[in-house]
Chain A
Amino acid sequence: MRLSALQALCIIALVAAGTQLTRWVPFWLFPEHRQPPPVVTYLGRVLPPAMMGLLVVYCLKGVSWSAASHGVPELSSILLVAALHRWKGNVLLSIAGGTGLYMLLVQLVFA
C-alpha cells in the first residue's frame, strides 16, 4: 500500500521533526553562552567511550549466537580488526581488513 503524496510528505516531515528534535534538545537545554553544570560536563567526558561500547554491541544485536554461523563471522572479523589495529594502528587498514574478511565469510563460507 502506498500513501497519498500529501500523507507521505506528512510522515516524512514528522519523522524528520522527531529525529532532529533529539539532536537539538541538549543544545537548547545548555546554550553556548551558559556554562553547563559540572555533572553535564562530566557526562560529556565519560559518555563517548561508553557510547562507543553501546554502538559496538548494538551492531551485533542481530547475531544469532545459538543458531547457524553462531556469530563466528562477526567475532573473527572483529578480532582481525583489533589485531590489525594493534599492529599498524591504521584506521583504514583495520576497517578494510575486517570488512573484507566478513564479506568473504558471509558470502562464501557461511552462505
Chain B
Amino acid sequence: MEQLEEHSWRAAARAAFPVTIPVLTGYLCLGMAYGLLMQAKGYGPLWSVLMSALVYGGSIQYVAITFLTTAFDPVQAFVLALMVNARHMFYGLSMLEKYRGTGMARPFLVCTLTDETYSLLATLEPPSGVSRQRFYTAVSLWDYLYWVIGTALGGFLGMLVTFDTTGMDFALTALFVVLFLEQWKVPENRPAAVIGLACTALSLTLFGATNLVIPAMAMILTVLLGQRRRLLCA
C-alpha cells in the first residue's frame, strides 16, 4: 500500500512535469531577474528567496522592491499587495469546484494559485490514471519550485549567466496565448473569452498600463453577470 502511494505520487509528478515546462522557462527567467535586482538593491539571496517563498507573486514582488528601498511604509505595502493581486479572487472563484475534495493538499493549492498555475489547472484535465488532487498538487509544486529556485539562482550566481536572455520571459505570454486558444476550442467558452479580451483592452486604453487590472475585472464581472441568461443558453 505504502509503495503504491509513493508510486502514484511519482506518476503524478511525471505527468505534471511536461505541462509545466513553459512555466519553468518563464519562472526561472523572471525569478532570476528578481534575485539579481534584489541583489543590486542590497538584498542578498536570503531576502529574495524569503520573499519568493512567502509571497510567490511575480508582479507584486517587483513592486515591493520599492517598499524595501524607500521610507518604511508597511500599510501601503499591504494595501498595494491586495490591489495588485485582486485578480486572485476570480481565480479562487473558478477553482472552488475543481479544488473540492482535495483534502490535505487544499491549503497548499490555495496558497500557490498564481496566474500561471491557475491558467494550467483551469484549462487542463488530469491525464487518466492520475487523481485530480495529485495532479493539481504536482503542477502547483513544480511551478512553486521553479520560482523559488529561479530566485535563488539569480541571487547566488546571476552574474555568471553569459548568454542574452532578453525576451525569454515571452514564454509566459506565449503560454497564456496557448491556454486562451485551448479555452477557445470549446465553443461555449468563446463569448466569455471575447468579453475578457475586449474589457481588458478597453480598460488599458481608458486607464493606462499601470491601473488596468481592477477596472478590467469590474467590467468583466459586470458584463458576465449582465449576459448571464444569454451565456447560459449558449
Residues of A within 8 A of B (CB): 1-3, 7-8, 10-27, 30, 32, 36, 39-62, 73-74, 77-78, 81-82, 85-86, 91-92, 94-95, 98-99, 102-103, 105-107
User: B22 to nearest A CB, angstroms?
Assistant: 5
In the complex, A40 Cα to B96 Cα: how many Å?
Answer: 9
Give the distance to chain B from A40, nearest Cβ to Cβ, in Å: 6
Residues of the B chain whose Cβ atoms lie less than 8 Å from the Cβ of A19? 55-57, 60, 81, 85, 88
User: Is B175's CB within 8 Å of the partner chain A?
Assistant: yes
Q: Which of B47, B68, B99, B193 is in CB contact (< 8 Å) with A50?
A: B193
Contact A53 B55 (CB under 8 A): no
In the complex, how many residue pairs between chain A and chain B have their CB atoms under 8 Å apart? 273
A48 to B194, CA, bound (A): 12
Pair B170/A99 contact, Cβ less than 8 Å: yes
Q: Contacts A8-B43, A11-B77, A17-B78 hold; do A59 and B93 have CB atoms under 8 A apart? A: no
| A110 vs chain B, min Cβ distance (A) | 10
B residues apposed to A, CB below 8 Å: 18-19, 21-22, 25, 41-43, 47, 50-51, 54-57, 60-61, 64, 67-72, 74-75, 77-82, 85-97, 99-101, 106, 110-111, 113, 115, 118-119, 122-123, 164, 166-168, 170-181, 183-184, 189-190, 192-201, 204, 209, 212-213, 216-217, 220-221, 224-225, 228, 231-232
A39-B228, A47-B192 given; 17 more Cβ-contact pairs under 8 Å = A2-B43, A2-B69, A3-B72, A8-B43, A10-B74, A15-B64, A15-B78, A16-B54, A21-B82, A27-B106, A49-B183, A54-B87, A54-B199, A56-B177, A57-B201, A92-B22, A103-B166
Contact B96–A99 (Cβ < 8 Å): no
Interface centre among A1, A22, A52, A61 (most CB of B within 10 A): A52
Beta-carbon contact of A48 and B122 below 8 Å: yes
The smallest C-beta distance from B220 to any residue of chain A, in angstroms, reads 5
**Nearest CB in chain B to that of A25: its residue:** B89
Show 23 residue pairs from A and B whose CB-CB distance is below 8 angstroms, ordered by the A residue: A1-B70, A11-B64, A11-B67, A11-B68, A14-B77, A15-B60, A16-B51, A22-B89, A26-B92, A32-B100, A41-B96, A41-B97, A47-B94, A47-B220, A49-B183, A49-B190, A52-B183, A54-B216, A74-B173, A82-B177, A86-B181, A92-B22, A107-B166
Q: For residue B122, which residues in chain A have a CB less than 8 angstroms away from its CB?
A: 48, 51-52
Contact A57 B197 (CB under 8 A): yes
Q: Please tell me if the beta carbons of A27 and B110 are within 8 angstroms of each other in the complex.
A: yes
